[in-house]
Structure 1
Amino acid sequence: GYADGYPRHAPTGTPVLVDGIRTRTVGTVSMDMLAVDLMPCPQAGIGTPVELWGKEIKVDDVASASGTLGYELLCAVAPRVPFVTT
């Protein structure tokens, strides 16, 4: 959610990758969570990898959907978020 640096203004439909399958956010981003449409990936469960931005989902695409810049999103990532770089 937005406490971890995900943009609070991200609209429904912002792209997300779940287990390698492109899907979208649904509803309002909350402080500590956000909802994702899992219809395209029924195999998803606890522990399934999710990419909010990275190799497939570009930070600038999420930023554009949210009316901001990718740099601002990267600077807002909270320390408690596992940040994987390759």
Structure 2
Amino acid sequence: TPVYIEGRKTFTVGRVSMDMLYIDITNISGASISSDVELWGEHIPVDDVAEKSGTVGYELLCAISASKRVPVETIYG
């Protein structure tokens, strides 16, 4: 699944486990545990993530907004 970190697109490694995932940062200089990671947004369309997951973007957005454990920040612009 694609993700965006430190100005570069890369991919997750393996499967999501509970609330954790692993990202290949081998060739991403400056990436660290404190780096922001875009799961979908400006650089990664939600429909691209959904396609890799075998679903549709609407389902991902509903699932994440329904979760009580994931803080959601909505940015209007």
TM-score range, shorter chain: 0.7 to 0.9
Tell me which residue corresponds to 1:60.
Answer: 47
Question: Which consecutive segments of 4 or more residues in structure 1 shift more than 6 A?
Answer: none
Give aligned pairs, total.
73
Instruction: Tell me the distance in 2 between the aligned counterparts of 1:26 and 1:79.
Output: 25
Q: Provide the identity percentage.
A: 56
Task: Give the alignment partner of residue 72 of structure 2, picking from 63, 73, 83.
Answer: 83
Structure 1: which amino acid aligns with 2:38? Answer: E
Instruction: Tell me the distance in 1 between the aligned counterparts of 2:42 and 2:68.
Output: 21
The unaligned stretches of length 5 or more in structure 1 are 1-13
- Structure exhibiting the larger radius of gyration computed from Cα positions: 2
Tell me which residue corresponds to 1:43.
Answer: 30
Greater strand proportion: 2
The unaligned stretches of length 5 or more in structure 2 are none
CA RMSD of aligned residues (A): 1.3
Higher relative contact order (CA 8 A, sep 6+): 1
Q: TM-score, normalised by structure 2?
A: 0.84
